[in-house]
Amino acid sequence: MSRYPTYKMFGEHTILLNWREKIDLDIHDQVFLYARFISENFPDEIVETAIAYQSLVVYLKTGINAQLFIDTLIGRKIDVSELVTKKKQLITIPVCYDPEFGPDIQKIASTHNQTISEVIERHTTPNYKVYFLGFLPGFAYLGGLDQQLYTPRRSMPRPFIEKGSVGIGGTQTGIYPIDSPGGWNIIGRTPLHLFDATKDPPSMINAGDFIKFQAINRSEFDLLQIEIKAGTFRWRKEMHHD
């Protein structure tokens, strides 16, 4: 039953597909495949689609009646099981957990009665699922944070968090892709540029991907920055096996 969505209008030219209210890998796979199906099959009707954990939004062109389009989609009896699932990639994100870049890592360690090394170990172990991007350009909502790292957001958000900063907010971990204010606990920084508006697509990680953090020291961070600047840096991407 979780396989089929309900359809709703969301303004004049937007429709929303909702699945069960749950953050769940299987539901998300359905959302992802529906988005692909609709994007591929209705290029004349839609502007774009975007997904979240258990919902899919379809932005329609002006002049396309949302209610009629819902009827079309329902009539189409979408079956995504025929879609060949694209191979999922696992992208490695090097992170320097030096307190210079991670001002809150000591606090997180103390909160959970762990050493900084244990925090790093727990943070670099999972393969995190990229559910979708939102909040900021290129900001990935990741699933898979170790429960023993769950930490409430800071009561006072910082007015400025440098791009590349890696944080923990509640049950989530993530990377700030651009400079931004923010309330997450900052534990490290990646030298990689995750969002680049001069590229299309602008985000280096996308919904459906998996990522893994890899601890690097300060001199490795500096070296990577030089490689990125020189254009010799190569992203580490491999196939992800469920």
Partner 1 sequence: MIKIIVSGLHSSLQDLGRFGHRDCGVPVSGAMDLRSAANANALVGNDPNATVLEFMASGPVLEFNEAAVIGISGAMFSPKIDGKNIGMNTSVGIKEGSTLSFGSPSKGLRAYLAIKGGFSASIMLGSSSYYKGVTEEGRLRKNDTLYIDQSGDKPSKTSRTVVKTVLRFDSNEIEVFKGPEFDSLPRSIQNKLKNASFTIDAQSNRMAYWLEHSEDISAKDIITAPVQPGTVQITPVGKVIVLMRDAQTTGGYARIFQLSKSAIDLLAQKRAGEKVSFKMIDPLFHTHT
Tell me which residues touch partner 1 (CB under 8 A): 8-12, 14, 16, 18, 21-23, 35, 47-57, 59, 62-63, 66-67, 132-139, 141, 178-180, 195, 197-198, 200-203, 206-207
| One-letter identity of residue 44 | D
55-60 and 14-18 beta bridge pairing: antiparallel
Question: 175 and 168 in contact (C-beta within 8 Å)?
Answer: no
Nearer to partner 1, 63 or 231 (CB): 63
Provide, rounded to whole angstroms, the least separation between the CB of residue 176 and partner 1.
10
Provide, rounded to whole angstroms, the least separation between the CB of residue 79 and partner 1.
23
Question: What does the block give as tokens for 223?
Answer: 């070296």
User: How many C-beta atoms surround the C-beta of residue 21 within 10 A?
Assistant: 10
Nearer to partner 1, 83 or 136 (CB): 136
Nearer to partner 1, 119 or 207 (CB): 207
Question: What does the block give as tokens for 188?
Answer: 């490290």
Provide, rounded to whole angstroms, the least separation between the CB of residue 16 and partner 1.
6
Q: How far, in Å, are 11, 54, 107 from residue 6 at the CA level?
A: 16, 11, 43
Nearer to partner 1, 127 or 172 (CB): 172
Provide, rounded to whole angstroms, the least separation between the CB of residue 159 and partner 1.
14
Residues in CB range of 30: below 8 A, 6 or more apart: 2, 3, 5, 19, 80
